[in-house]
A and B are shown apart, each in its own frame.
Chain A
């Protein structure tokens, strides 16, 4: 699959995510409506909140992520080499605009890209990464991030995060409503409503989990593809393979300011490793050894 097929498939994925988003919001709206005795109110309320939340996080989400991770903009002359490398790779990828370059003061080895499209994109790297990787390795990591931008992965990831965030918000609202007891009049509630409320309760508990799993499923496959298209930019897969090996051997992969909301963005998982298949299902990144193996086979 070439890079243009990749962009097209991300386009489809974007529509799919938006569709899921819409269905989920509507269903939650129906349940909220049942609680308050008016479906119109519930659906209207959920869609209204959904649109506001969506617009806000779609346009301000990337900046929020950068703020949350404590990133600050890289400037010359201190980061000349970093900026030059990003500029070079953007040329190689044919990006319409050079992404904004950010630095995170953290000794861990990690990096991420975010934004809504190649025109509005940012790359961030930790200072640890800049100190410990050589030129070729840094180039490999940055090429991986630039590929995320070029392939529109950043948009899919941003939308996935927005969706999970909204689901959590609405479910939270639902659960609180249950806890605070009945709104609306008991007289208006039939037995059908009671069933709906039980379903809604289950949904409220489960939907953040479903959203989270979806986000992970999207994220893990992206990593392999970005590795491959990154290698097409540098024409030197060994650079990224060496970088990943260094990252793997790093005893402290933890980025202090990473949390579950931003984990899927990083080049390698920002949390300490734990064992078991359950964690594999819930991990944001594919096995690093597997990635190194694939890169070395190129």
Chain B
């Protein structure tokens, strides 16, 4: 009789451990997927920038400085830690903003179909990066949280799950909204 009970308890514990392990794996997978979403969009923007530069170069002869800034930030995007990447990404965002602001002074450029398409694509990619980053940070938050709550924290240590880093360079995030269902 006692043996049966011991067996039941062992089976229950094993099932619990499997459940916790799987749920941690699932959350970590979500973080990985979310990260690859950011990467895809960063890459997309990286590929679009040379097209933009060549489209505006002819018109913006007197704005060399702005163009160089984008090119420089673009190259620093390839390597480095997550923090470096986040920082470079923000720099590109700012540099692109100033290109589009300067472009306002060039009516011919603004009327150029190719430029208009590129602007639409780049601003689309820009907002996709913001969304991918939001999803990534949300995923990291729920993963990191689950590493800290009892009893998951015990097994997280046991299976050496580590907290993930947020994709953040400075305080320029869109604030969260308070939503009540």
Contacts and interface: CB of A to CB of B under 8 A. Distances in A.
Given A88-B128, A92-B135, A94-B30, A77 B179 contact: no
A237 interface: yes
Contact of A80 (B33, B117, B175, B181): B117
A14 interface: no
Contacts of B180: 228, 298
Report, as a range, how many residues of chain A touch the other chain.
20 to 34
B36 to A, nearest CB: 11
Interface in B25-44: 30, 33-34, 37, 41
A134 interface: no
What does DSSP make chain A's interface, helix, strand, loop or mixed? Answer: helix
Contact of A235 (B33, B34, B128, B175): B175
13 contacts: A77-B117, A81-B120, A81-B124, A84-B124, A84-B128, A85-B124, A85-B127, A87-B124, A229-B179, A232-B177, A235-B175, A236-B174, A237-B177
Contacts of A236: 174, 177
What does DSSP make chain B's interface, helix, strand, loop or mixed? Answer: helix
B98 interface: no
Given A80-B124, A92-B132, 17 more contacts: A6-B181, A77-B117, A77-B120, A84-B124, A84-B128, A85-B127, A88-B124, A88-B127, A91-B135, A94-B30, A228-B181, A229-B179, A231-B179, A233-B131, A235-B177, A236-B174, A298-B180
Interface of B: 30, 33-34, 37, 41, 117, 120-121, 124-125, 127-128, 130-132, 134-135, 139, 174-181
A84 B134 contact: no
A163 interface: no
Interface in A222-246: 225, 228-229, 231-233, 235-237
A298 B178 contact: yes
A92 B121 contact: no
Contact of B128 (A81, A91, A93, A225): A91
A89 interface: yes
B181 to A, nearest CB: 4
